[in-house]
């Protein structure tokens, strides 16, 4: 899942890059002003992966990341465990028979940054996204690994299934515009 060599610091971030110590706003904390009327957001530093398309990072300097988390303890027979082991989306005819988690992306252990735990899997929480804009140098400095091209492809599959669902009316509209119906 992880490439052997780390890209150069000046190399742009890519989808699937592993970052450490990325600040995530804690949405579970209260946001109340102090006596002077000042309020501060609380942040927690987390390990994360880049989920932004590479061309968006390169051309618009926008980087979206999803935090890495640990699942609950599970047995191998657990449906979530099986869903996380299913790497590619199931074919339409088996979608109800093959478990597939479209909002979590299973990650392999990597050095001290993603540690294996008995009975738990490490995942990127794809439905929890935080976006940074502007100078991304500090995020490039936070990069500790890059996914292989196959792992990035599997990540794109997950992101497409999660965010790119086509509604029946969309298919009709595309067909009316002359696009092939598949």
Would you say residue 72 lies in a domain?
Answer: yes
Q: Between the CA atoms of 63, 67, 114 and 45, what dihedral angle is there, to the nearest 10 degrees?
A: 90
Structural domain harbouring 150: 18-176
Task: Write down the pLDDT at residue 91.
Answer: 81
State pTM to two decimals: 0.83
Predicted pLDDT at 50: 96
Residue 6 in any domain: the answer is: no
Within a domain: 142: yes
pLDDT in tens, 108-151: 999 999 999 999 999 999 999 999 998 889 999 999 999 999 99
Q: What is the pLDDT along the chain (182 residues), one digit of tens a residue?
A: 999 999 999 898 999 999 999 999 876 666 677 788 787 778 899 999 999 987 766 767 889 999 999 999 999 899 999 999 988 888 877 878 888 888 999 999 999 999 999 999 999 999 999 999 988 899 999 999 999 999 999 999 899 888 876 677 777 777 787 776 55
Let me know if residue 162 belongs to a domain: yes
> Based on the structure, what is the number of domains in the chain?
1
* Assigned domain for 158 exists: yes
User: Residue 2 falls within a domain, yes or no?
Assistant: no
145 assigned to some structural domain: yes
| pLDDT (0 to 100) of residue 39 | 74
Within a domain: residue 88? Answer: yes
How far is C-alpha 6 from the chain's CA centre?
A: 19
What pLDDT is recorded for position 30?
66
């Amino acid at each position: 899942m992880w490439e052997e060599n780390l890209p150069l610091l000046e190399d742009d971030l890519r989808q699937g890059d592993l970052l450490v110590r990325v600040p995530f706003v804690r949405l579970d904390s209260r946001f109340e002003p102090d006596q002077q009327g000042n309020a501060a957001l609380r942040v927690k530093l987390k390990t994360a992966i880049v989920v932004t398309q590479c061309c968006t990072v390169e051309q618009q300097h926008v980087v979206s990341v999803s935090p890495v988390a640990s699942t609950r303890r599970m047995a191998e027979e657990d449906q979530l465990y099986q869903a996380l082991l299913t790497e590619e989306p199931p074919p339409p005819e088996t979608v109800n028979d093959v478990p597939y988690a479209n909002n979590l992306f299973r990650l392999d252990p990597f050095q001290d940054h993603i540690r294996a735990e008995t009975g738990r899997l490490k995942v990127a929480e794809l439905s929890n996204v935080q976006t940074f804009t502007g100078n991304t140098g500090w995020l490039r400095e936070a990069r500790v690994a890059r996914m292989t091209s196959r792992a990035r492809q599997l990540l794109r599959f997950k992101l497409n299934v999660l965010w790119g669902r086509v509604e029946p009316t969309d298919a009709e509209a595309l067909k009316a515009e002359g696009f092939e119906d598949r």
